[in-house]
Structure 1
Amino acid sequence: MAIVEQKVGDLVRLLYQKLADVSHVRQRKRLMVPTSGDHGATPTIYFLTPDHHGASGGIRVIYRHVDILNSIGVQAFVLHQRPGFRCNWFHNQTEVTDVQKAKVTRSDILVVSELDIDLLSRIPSGIKYLIFNQNSHLTWRRGGALAARLYGANPDLTGVVTVSDHNREMLRYAFPASPIERVHLSIDPTLFHPGSGARPRRIAYMPRRGRDDAQQIVEMLRARGVLEGWEVVALDGLAHSEVADKLRTTRIFLALTYQEGFGLPAAEAMACGNYVIGNHGFGGKEFFLPEFSAVVEPGDIMALVRAAEEAIYNDESNVGWCRDRGQAASAFILETYSPQRERDDVATFYREFLASVLPARQAAE
């Protein structure tokens, strides 16, 4: 009987997965990329962005880059599908438009993510595009073999922008002829900072990243009696500012990622003064430094449990052990990934990219 129930359960799950896949394909077929063969009066940069209600670090970055461009006199918009849609899980007054109102002309640049390059097959030649790749490991998820053409020697490709040294290295290796640049993301120092209050013995993690691993780690630590006097909190379903508030009350953060383009949660935890233990996801390798963090290979539960137990022991034996390393991590993150550095990078690269479009426009006129 149990075997029959299991087989029925497997069939039901398979059916739901197939239905979800069909629904996803239909949804993507409905996505629009509005274009015009004309030349616009003012060159504009449009960032094609999903209509996504939930928290997404990548979408927040897009909104911020649009803000930066408009602040330096470059006209830019977040381009959503649904009329009137705007992400509201974080405060913003970003310039937003939709596919019913806007058209991308031959004077403009259409920016698409690594997950939307398949939509470029729907736009006519002569429309300039730029790929904003925030996670090089997702490059082929929707593009497949199409990626070689879109990232390669394509006359409509203005450039590729990415967000970490690892991403840039991987993309340059895959597409050696492609113009690939890296911008430094920023960590908001008004939200993510150590604060001044005393911290309880508290460990944090994000369950949407490695939920099963987290359960094993916590239960193993509890079984060994290591968590006595310590609290473990899951940061889930919180607004951006609420995550920052929580991270200023914790001493240790468990990073349970796999392949990250950058790794914002770990960087934000460090900025708040946490000792971070776990996986850098490759993209975060540049800031997972041994002076203030502990790197563990993805999936190595035993190593992560041992590293967490060692940190707990050190903090209990030496007052301020986590605090001192957290402060060093925060200083490094806030200096290396400052808003001014991101602003300078974005301003420099997009001005160069836009300049490459202007000669074609002038020639056409």
Structure 2
Amino acid sequence: MTIYYLCPEHSTPVGGVRVIYQHVDVLNRNGIPAYVVHKTKGFRVNWFENQTPIVYWRDTFLDRLIAKYKRRSAPNRVVELPIKGGQRSIISASDILVIPEMYGPDLAAAYGRGIKKVILNQNCYLTFNGYSFNKDRLISPYHHKDALATLVNSEDGALYLKHTFPNLPLYRFRLSIDPKRFKFQATKKKQLCFSRIKNQADAMQVINILKFRGALHDFDIVPFINLPQSEVAQIYQDSLLFLSFGYPEGFGLPAAEAMASGCVVIGFHGGGGKEFFNPEFSYPIEQGDILSFAKTVEEIIHSYNQNPEPILEKGRRAASYIHDTYSPELEEQEILAAWRSILEKFNSCFSI
């Protein structure tokens, strides 16, 4: 039995891809064979360091023809998935395939009929991408006979899925923030930073309100996008403030990483970030409330200029909370606990 994580191919930073690689590393470290599955031969994420085991989906014309024949000629036959690069040449019914939620309502049926699946849901707000408004169309991988369980990465996501699918076998795993990469730095520049990946329209409004009011005359603005992790970490460590514009979010890794580095975080929690946007050390803003966002940033800058220590103390408390709550050790414990339970269920399928 081997666990295979189907993984999107992004050559620029995407937190969910890193999580997939981390899961595979955790499983292998604990004696459970696992691989990342990519479609493009030779592809490997290079925006963070890794030696994660990878196999490649073999998807030639002949492979597709054989799979199509199997599906039509024997409706109950397992459709194995051909791969290259691992110990074996197929993903079979003796394995488990992990599929991200983004692949739509047919994801369980479309990939390896008869192979047991685990759905990896890292953004509950993408759960229904590709679905229909037709009330009678109830096709979903969360009801499919091949689906063993769902893994979800936040309290918000767990509540969302449990409400929608009350009988769903669901395991919430904790994400971790790398304490070596995103380490606390007490010395801060008069600098605010934010990611430009999401919601640039709101960012443009907030920054320009502050700019035209003269609130940023002695602060540097550092927007960033598609930078290596090492460079992003340095930006966080240097910055006093991080502005969070993300929405919707499965968890909100950038805000958590910024907190771990000692930034005071202001902005939208995006849903998934509710669990760590604590008002004791951050400034959550109601989604879409641009004016309150800008006013809060201006007030904090003014307070810092008058007396920096209370603002710096919030950064220290945020970093302590993130490092204690989202440690690699806790992440590993929860991933393993989830998979041991899933594997027990998987093994029972063959003992009946």
Scaled to the shorter chain, the TM-score interval is 0.7 to 0.9
Matched to 2:127, the amino acid is T
Query: Do residues 260 (structure 1) and 249 (structure 2) align?
Result: yes
- Per-residue CA deviation, residues 90-125 of structure 1 (Å, 9 max, x unaligned), is 110001001121422111111000112433322454
Query: Do residues 130 (structure 1) and 121 (structure 2) align?
Result: no
2:98 pairs, out of 93, 111, 115, with 111
1:149 pairs, out of 140, 159, 176, with 140
Q: Indicate the residue corresponding to 1:14 in structure 2.
A: none
Q: Indicate the residue corresponding to 2:55 in structure 1.
A: 97
Residue ranges of structure 1 left out of the alignment (5+ in a row)? 1-42
Q: Indicate the residue corresponding to 1:164 in structure 2.
A: 154
- Per-residue CA deviation, residues 260-296 of structure 1 (Å, 9 max, x unaligned), is 1000010001000011000000110010001111111
Going from structure 1 to structure 2, the CA distance change for 1:78 and 1:124 (only over 3 Å counts) comes to: closer
Q: Indicate the residue corresponding to 2:191 in structure 1.
A: 202
Distance 1:130 1:183 in 2: 13
Contact 1:107 1:361 in 2 (8 A): no
Contact 2:27 2:336 in 1 (8 A): yes
Q: Indicate the residue corresponding to 2:329 in structure 1.
A: 340
- Per-residue CA deviation, residues 291-322 of structure 1 (Å, 9 max, x unaligned), is 11111122211010011011101111112232
Q: Indicate the residue corresponding to 1:352 in structure 2.
A: 341
Contact 1:252 1:322 in 2 (8 A): no
Contact 2:281 2:318 in 1 (8 A): yes
Going from structure 1 to structure 2, the CA distance change for 1:236 and 1:123 (only over 3 Å counts) comes to: closer
Larger CA deviation: 96-105 vs 326-335:
96-105
What aligned pairs does 1:185-224 form with structure 2 within 5 A after superposition?
A: 185-196=175-186, 198-224=187-213
Distance 1:123 1:299 in 2: 38
Matched to 1:178, the amino acid is L
Matched to 2:267, the amino acid is G
Matched to 2:124, the amino acid is S
Distance 2:335 2:288 in 1: 35
1:251 counterpart SS class: strand
How far off its partner does 1:187 sit?
0.2
What is the TM-score with the length of structure 1 in the denominator?
0.84
Distance 2:115 2:141 in 1: 13
- Per-residue CA deviation, residues 168-215 of structure 1 (Å, 9 max, x unaligned), is 00000101111111000000000112125x221100011122212212
Distance 1:200 1:135 in 2: 33
What is the TM-score with the length of structure 2 in the denominator?
0.87
Q: Indicate the residue corresponding to 2:307 in structure 1.
A: 318
Distance 1:344 1:148 in 2: 33
Q: Indicate the residue corresponding to 1:65 in structure 2.
A: 23
How far off its partner does 1:148 sit?
5.0
Query: Do residues 282 (structure 1) and 271 (structure 2) align?
Result: yes
Contact 2:151 2:170 in 1 (8 A): yes
Contact 1:273 1:330 in 2 (8 A): yes
Q: Indicate the residue corresponding to 1:56 in structure 2.
A: 14
Distance 2:349 2:184 in 1: 49
Matched to 1:150, the amino acid is P
Matched to 1:119, the amino acid is L
- Per-residue CA deviation, residues 133-183 of structure 1 (Å, 9 max, x unaligned), is 00001001035577753212x332110010111000000010111111100
Distance 2:255 2:168 in 1: 30
Contact 2:108 2:147 in 1 (8 A): no
Distance 2:120 2:296 in 1: 35
Distance 1:163 1:270 in 2: 18
Distance 1:209 1:288 in 2: 18
Contact 1:247 1:274 in 2 (8 A): yes
Going from structure 1 to structure 2, the CA distance change for 1:47 and 1:124 (only over 3 Å counts) comes to: closer
How far off its partner does 1:362 sit?
4.8
Going from structure 1 to structure 2, the CA distance change for 1:237 and 1:157 (only over 3 Å counts) comes to: closer
Aligned length: 319
Contact 2:107 2:141 in 1 (8 A): no
1:115 counterpart SS class: helix
Contact 1:139 1:147 in 2 (8 A): no
- Per-residue CA deviation, residues 18-41 of structure 1 (Å, 9 max, x unaligned), is xxxxxxxxxxxxxxxxxxxxxxxx
- Per-residue CA deviation, residues 74-100 of structure 1 (Å, 9 max, x unaligned), is 000000111121111111000100112
Going from structure 1 to structure 2, the CA distance change for 1:344 and 1:147 (only over 3 Å counts) comes to: farther
Distance 1:321 1:226 in 2: 19
Query: Do residues 241 (structure 1) and 207 (structure 2) align?
Result: no
2:44 pairs, out of 76, 83, 86, with 86
